[in-house]
Structure 1
Amino acid sequence: MTLLKAVLFEINGVFLNDTALQFELIDDILLAENLRPTDRLYRDSSLGKSDRRCLKENLALRGRVFSEVQLDSLIQQKSALYQNKLREIKPFPLYEDVVPLISAIKLKNIPVGIVTGYCRADAEFILQQAQLDQAFDVIVTADEVKTFKPNGDGYRLAIAQLNQKFPDAQIQPENCLTVEDNFHGIQAAKSVGIPVVGVAHTYPFHMLQRCSNWCVDYLSDLELERIDPSLAPPAEVLK
């Protein structure tokens, strides 16, 4: 029996329904540089990538090469625009089953963490707006790793940080569960050996089902006892 010792989440597309806004802002940046906006094919292939990688690839496809300092400036511009746009959206575009799921996991005393392609400023802003800023034991963003999804370094760092915080738990990848909504995120987690639940927020169920360990339509459908039967409710509760 596998003991579930940690659950890790992406924010974009898993917690927050903001994928369209992300691409809108990237297009705004490209247009400001007198470059054509992204096309549908590139959008599909870039889901799950960090802002730095998306911008770098978009610029390269248009024959533009920016230094890391210039990319930092663009990312800061996008972050400011993104946070301002989110403040204007009412209600805040958090999926309604996020808070109940996090609460249920924490009631089972299972550590929870974030591994996200957002920069840290955006991740912290979102969690504050969602009133979840104190809910997570570790938060790994695109600012903390040199290579991000589909590379698994973000997940490796999250597990290392969890083991620093909970040394007696001896958390291994197979003791974790991650929730992703796109192919790059799923690939990153599986490359480290972490079981993955795909949530069909961004892609159809049947597409995620092919590459994740299992798939759910909604976060409320997630059953932790599928990986750790000891988490199932007592028999008398089920009656």
Structure 2
Amino acid sequence: MLKAVIMDFDGVIVDTEVIWFNIFNKWFKKNWNYDLTIEEFLVCVGSHPKELFDKLEKDYNIIIDKKQFVEETNQTFLDESKDLPLKEGVLEFLQSIKNENISLAIATSASRKKPMYHLTRLEILDYFDEIVTSEDVEKIKPNPDLFNKAIEKLGIAKEEAVIIEDSVNGLIAGNRADIQTIVCTNDVTKHSTFEKYFMKVDSLTDIDVENIIKKFDESSDRYAIR
């Protein structure tokens, strides 16, 4: 029986991934005259920029001053994302979930400040029963810690939850946590290759909650829906 939905934040609730890619792309062009591709950027989506920085250093000897990068990009991100709307279908999805008396949680690799700001601004904070961030765990995605902590806080079994993720790192984390995961792509992560998911959609508008509940309850094979 489905008792909880655990949602990622960035790229699922608000479309921050596109903003970050544009910021990364411009920064690398300006500082290194390097054209960062979406495929390269995808390495750190849902996780930490360190994954990308390490790869560029290894492959091209591009050595990033992480402090400089943060100082030069964070304010730009805050300025460009402060008025982002909800992604299409988010509010209707949240309402449908709560109408079914199913719990909602967020599990994000971000620190707590960012999701709390946007959830409050967009007036959807009250829909969520639990919010788990990088401040609550030792390791972020693709490690399973965030989802394991969400399950613990919700007080349910893993078999009673489903995750909604937009990134490969998020999907890997969901699989490592042994929780069925729906992939909901965006304009950045649609370029990824996903494997071993419960379901894959392009938008939350494509999810019929009653149908998901039925399929979830009927599914005895972890990846029967592909």
Structure 2 counterpart of 1:64:
63
Structure 2 counterpart of 1:84:
79
Q: Take 1:50 and 1:230, find their aligned partners in 2: how far apart are those partners?
A: 33
After superposing the two structures, state which structure 1 stretch, 103-112 or 75-84, moved more: 75-84
Structure 2 counterpart of 1:147:
139
Unaligned runs of 5+ in 1: 164-170, 233-239
Structure 1 counterpart of 2:220:
none
Task: Please list the CA deviations of residues 148-182 of structure 1 after superposition, one character each: whole Å capped at 9, or x if unmatched.
Answer: 1111111111111222xxxxxxx111110111122
Q: Give 1:142 deviation, angstroms.
A: 2.5
Q: Secondary structure at the match of 1:215?
A: strand
Q: 1:58 to 1:27 in 2, by over 3 A?
A: farther
Structure 1 counterpart of 2:180:
195
TM-score, with length taken from structure 2: 0.77
Letter in 1 for 2:167: N
Structure 1 counterpart of 2:47:
49
Q: Give 1:9 deviation, angstroms.
A: 0.7
Structure 1 counterpart of 2:223:
none
Q: Secondary structure at the match of 2:43?
A: helix
TM-score, with length taken from structure 1: 0.74
Q: 1:25 to 1:119 in 2, by over 3 A?
A: farther
Q: Take 1:29 and 1:143, find their aligned partners in 2: how far apart are those partners?
A: 27
Q: Give 1:25 deviation, angstroms.
A: 2.7
Q: Take 1:219 and 1:141, find their aligned partners in 2: how far apart are those partners?
A: 22
In the TM superposition, what are the counterparts of 1:216-235 in structure 2 within 5 Å? 216-226=201-211, 228-229=213-214
Letter in 1 for 2:80: K
> Does the CA-based 8 Å contact 1:198-1:216 persist in structure 2?
yes
Q: 1:110 to 1:40 in 2, by over 3 A?
A: closer
Q: Secondary structure at the match of 2:6?
A: strand
Letter in 1 for 2:2: L
Q: Take 2:117 and 2:148, find their aligned partners in 1: how far apart are those partners?
A: 24
Q: 1:37 to 1:205 in 2, by over 3 A?
A: closer
Q: Take 2:55 and 2:139, find their aligned partners in 1: how far apart are those partners?
A: 14
Q: Give 1:207 deviation, angstroms.
A: 4.8
Structure 1 counterpart of 2:120:
128
Q: Take 2:192 and 2:136, find their aligned partners in 1: how far apart are those partners?
A: 33
Q: Give 1:15 deviation, angstroms.
A: 1.5
CA RMSD of aligned residues (A): 3.3
1:23 counterpart = 2:18: no
